[in-house]
Structure 1
Amino acid sequence: MTQLLSNGSRGLAVRNLQAALRLDGYAIAVDGDFGDETEAVLRAYQRKVGLVDDGVAGPKTQAALKGFDTSRYLKRKDLQQAANRLGVPLASVMAVNQVESKGEGFAANGRPVILFERHVMHERLQANGFSEAEADALAVAVPAVVNRTPGGYLGGTAENQRLAAARMVHEESALESASWGLFQIMGYHWQRLGYQDVQHFADTMALSEAAQLDAFVSFIEADPALHKALKARNWKQFARIYNGPNYAKNLYDVKLARAYAQFAGEQEKAA
């Protein structure tokens, strides 16, 4: 797993990052101390290659420095387009991306990051024509993928195996029962977000992180209260709607406010 490096980090991983930036032509001290100088240089590099210039060396930035293909990664221009579409400052979208996204839209196997929800599968089977008794019978037969209660998570790429098993039960319900991509949008939202069907939604999530962001923007547009909260930068209301009643426990509103202030301040300095 790639180590996340940011201002305040120290050690060999930071030294390697600085050395890679130096090899790319940046005048930077290779001292293993991630301070303001390293952050400024890193942001410049991120802007040069088109990545989100958040000053954090995560797996995407480190992959770019190693020369790997970054074509499916989220770019700054994607965030700007999302901000324009939503009618909000770029800093707002950058804050939401930092706090609410999973950081990576694709797993190590190249497939979209997913989390399969077996209790949603129980519900979606009934929404797709199965009787409650039939759904309960399947819960007895294959409880790992059909169940009245949440759970059974395996995490990572193993979630694809759970999805594959669920697809053997019922294709459409299975795809609707997984959350997809950077922002973990549930498949059953496909119609509300304007996709032709759930397979079209799943195929689109496999294209790029930009396509996943587009689904998230559609999700915000489809909820007037959520969109209004974002426009007003009412982070408490935004977090309450998006994250649910436990938003305060996880400090989502506080994290969003801090991230927005940081990005807005940086953009004001750069202007």
Structure 2
Amino acid sequence: MNLLRHGDSKFPEARVLCSSSGLGWRGIAAEMRSHPAGDLPPFVSSQIEITIAPETTPGASVSRKGWGQRQQTRVEKGTIWISPMGVAEDDIRISRYLPSIFHIYLSMDRLLALSDPEGSASASLHHVRYLAGVRDESIVQIGHALAEDLRNPSAASRLLVDSLTAALANRMARNYCDTGMPRGTAATAARDMRRVRLAIEFMRAHLDQPIGLDEIAAAVAVSPFHFARLFRASTGLPPYRYLANLRMENARRLLAHGRMPLAEIALSMQFSTPANFARAFRQATGMSPTEYRRQLS
């Protein structure tokens, strides 16, 4: 399922500035586009679309009509538009050139799979609401983190995106669907701590593999959203950051005790390029991998 086809079909004249194409995201895609002024063709949404204005464009507005609802919204920093799967929009107009607009495409399957907070009850969702002019700092921050990962993917990108997707799905289900999410009982503290320990063991055993939130949560038999929440509560870090720290720790060990080339270390620790590894290593240690190895030897 290529979620980015949604944007290509809906915005044929808009320029793609960056996108998640080729990054291996699951059930979610994102792209930054610049939009010319003018009318868009009629469109039936095949996925859930969350659109965020990262900056204010003075005098610009978006007018659209879907499900018989007419909406007109000024384009101001942090403004959010939500379009459900299946909505038919037959009148969309952008009044002025927009230099950057961030689009997130979320599959309904992913929303249903991730938005159950306790992993025990199915989502009871009729549809996502058709909304414009939404103000939600949580969604804006999720969008900002996704956009940053597009520009600078890291060794833990897959886990980061999975965690952000789970948070977005839960936020959408609780606040922008026509029914709320059921609230289950929390697991016991002892069970949660055991799950956290098992998750860390799983991470350590798979440092050289492209694991994501789904795989780790499945290994400890809990839903992705609930796992991300209990892991952060127990360790003080989100899973993707903890995994990134483990990989950096292992990279330092490989640099100190072996002759493995830097490029091989970078790839084994799931960095997309040696340059990304070098940048992350300098941020973590204050020196380049070569300088670190030279200092120790």
> Normalization by structure 1: what TM-score?
0.30
Q: In proportion to residue count, which structure has more strand?
A: 2
User: Higher helix share goes to which structure?
Assistant: 1
